[in-house]
Structure 1
Amino acid sequence: MLPDVPAIHKLVDDSFEKFGRIDVIISNAGYGLFGAAEELSDAEVGHIIATNLTGSIQLIRSSLPHLRKQGGGRIIQISSYGGQVAFPGNSMYHATKFGIEGFCESVAQEVAPFNIGITLVEPGGARTEFRYGSAQVANLMSEYDGNPTHGFLNMLDASNGLAPGDPVRMASRIIESVEQEPAPMRLVLGSQALTNTISTLKARVADYETQTELAASTDFPAGE
């Protein structure tokens, strides 16, 4: 499944033609899809990739020629701290967010010489329709009952407590980031998101550091 790429190109081209100059582009298409990997249908997998990943990639690609010709601009890509931290029952969402993070980090280096900045916004849980309205749940299998995979059902139930993030404050921080020079590569929104991200990254680095000898053992000996 693919997004309507010609429609994306047309929308971007028409917008620049109408306004003449656009300084900030925000890519915010996305939704949550919950369930174990084998609980998801092929259609569900294809749809979330098209929406969260391929659609964002094509929007950015369509915008770059215009931003380059006008001498610069800023792209704000809404990601998630789920682009750095993974939880069970959310594999395809994480696949799209990890994917868009790698794409944007590479493209940011490509277009920096053209004065184009890219910022990945990594919000934590917020009181929006993402959890409490638009979230989609797979056809759940009884084999996963009592498994950590289905723990997301508690998160999606507002009676268990609302997410800590204030979407108004988050939006304000995003708008403020547009004026920062150089553009911040990442913007983490929410203390819980930052704590979890730092903890995950520290554990990841510690694991890599145990592999020094293993990694070196696969190199050709010096001088060969």
Structure 2
Amino acid sequence: MSRTWFITGTSSGFGREMTERLLERGDRVAATLRSPTVLESLKAQYGNQLWVAQLDVTDSQQVRNVIDRAFTELGQIDVVVSNAGYGLAGAAEELADEHIVQLLNTNVIGSIQVIRAALPHLRRQGGGRILQLSSMGGQITFPGLSLYHTSKFAMEGFVDTVAQEVSGFNIEFTLVEPGTAQTSFTQGLVMSEPLAAYETSGIRSLLENWPQIGDAKKMVREMIASVDRSPAPRRLILGSDAYTLVHAGLQEKLAALEAQKEIALSTDID
């Protein structure tokens, strides 16, 4: 069954790979990115099958305008993929204020505004699917990525909440949680200026030498396939590293919770 998809952040990485795969199989794609000329070759190849618009997700009014225009010009959009985002690395006190604000504006506020702008359209058309790109870093953490994790944890909480609010409108969500993958993510990683106090911490060595074991093409294949599953999987773990690390993290949290059961129960009103 052919579908129409709206995708943010299609210049590279998962967004570009998903756009190409969907076009190849005959779906229609509304691709948004900051520099539309990047997709000129695809537009020349696929014509009206590919709808392209300039979009900076940190501009909330532009987000609303572009999404309104996409639904108006394309009619029904079946799947909205909130993919735009990037990473910020460095110990927490190394991070520059402007880098913190920019990351949160992109990864959190931008993603929230994409979803908020799409909801009225999806509600009026009787439903749809939203894929929010998260990460294994939305459930577990690594030193040196505090603000990246903050952004992913924030979106996981937002999506879990909104999914409950709109379940009666046949709108379903999937949080996509990839592990490491051979994409352009590391090239786009913003590194903070180092402080001497953290020279021996090993944070930068860890980030610079992190093995990229996931196959981006296979991951995108599973993202697309998830839309055929009903009910929608709330979380889609991708990669053996993601499965192993998230599994261990959840077991640790559950064990810590059980260890505090008596304390928790003892604090109710008598």
Same fold (TM over 0.5): yes
Aligned to 1:175: 224
| 2:109 counterpart SS class | helix
Deviates more, 1:139-148 or 1:114-123: 139-148
1:209 aligns with 2:264: no
Per the TM alignment, residue 215 of structure 1 is displaced from its structure 2 partner at its CA by 1.2
Aligned to 1:159: none
Q: What's the CA shift string for 1:64-86, capped at 9, x where partnerless?
A: 00000000000000000000010
1:50 aligns with 2:105: yes
1:36 aligns with 2:88: no
> Normalising by the residue count of structure 1, what TM-score does the alignment of the two structures yield?
0.93
Identify if the C-alpha distance between structure 1 residues 86 and 45 changes in structure 2 by more than 3 Å, giving closer, same or farther: same
| 1:69 counterpart SS class | helix
Aligned to 2:160: 105
The one-letter amino acid paired with 1:182 is: P
Correspondence list, 1:44-83, <5 A: 44-83=99-138
Paired with 2:207 and 2:259, the residues of 1 have a C-alpha distance of: 36
From 198, 203, 222, the counterpart of 2:247: 198
Aligned 8 A contact 1:108 1:118 in 2: yes
Aligned to 1:154: 208
Give the aligned length. Answer: 214
The one-letter amino acid paired with 1:86 is: T
Per the TM alignment, residue 193 of structure 1 is displaced from its structure 2 partner at its CA by 0.6
Paired with 2:136 and 2:205, the residues of 1 have a C-alpha distance of: 18
Deviates more, 1:71-80 or 1:212-221: 212-221
Bigger RCO of structures 1 and 2 (CA < 8 A, at least 6 apart): 1
| 2:197 counterpart SS class | helix
Q: What's the CA shift string for 1:81-140, capped at 9, x where partnerless?
A: 000010110000000000000000111111111111100000000001101x11110001
The one-letter amino acid paired with 1:69 is: R
Identify if the C-alpha distance between structure 1 residues 210 and 88 changes in structure 2 by more than 3 Å, giving closer, same or farther: same
Paired with 1:202 and 1:149, the residues of 2 have a C-alpha distance of: 25
Aligned to 2:21: none
Aligned to 1:144: 198
Structure 1 residues without counterparts, runs of 5 or longer = 157-161
Q: Which aligned runs of 4 or more in structure 1 are off by greater than 2 angstroms? A: 148-156
Aligned to 1:14: 69
The one-letter amino acid paired with 2:218 is: R
Aligned 8 A contact 1:104 1:118 in 2: yes
The one-letter amino acid paired with 1:197 is: V
Aligned 8 A contact 1:76 1:120 in 2: yes
Per the TM alignment, residue 153 of structure 1 is displaced from its structure 2 partner at its CA by 3.6
The one-letter amino acid paired with 1:62 is: A
Q: What's the CA shift string for 1:172-208, capped at 9, x where partnerless?
A: 0000001110010000000111010000000011001
The one-letter amino acid paired with 2:68 is: D
Paired with 1:192 and 1:220, the residues of 2 have a C-alpha distance of: 43
Percent of aligned pairs with the same amino acid: 47
Per the TM alignment, residue 218 of structure 1 is displaced from its structure 2 partner at its CA by 1.8
The one-letter amino acid paired with 1:173 is: E
Aligned 8 A contact 1:73 1:117 in 2: yes
> Normalising by the residue count of structure 2, what TM-score does the alignment of the two structures yield?
0.77
Structure 2 residues without counterparts, runs of 5 or longer = 1-56
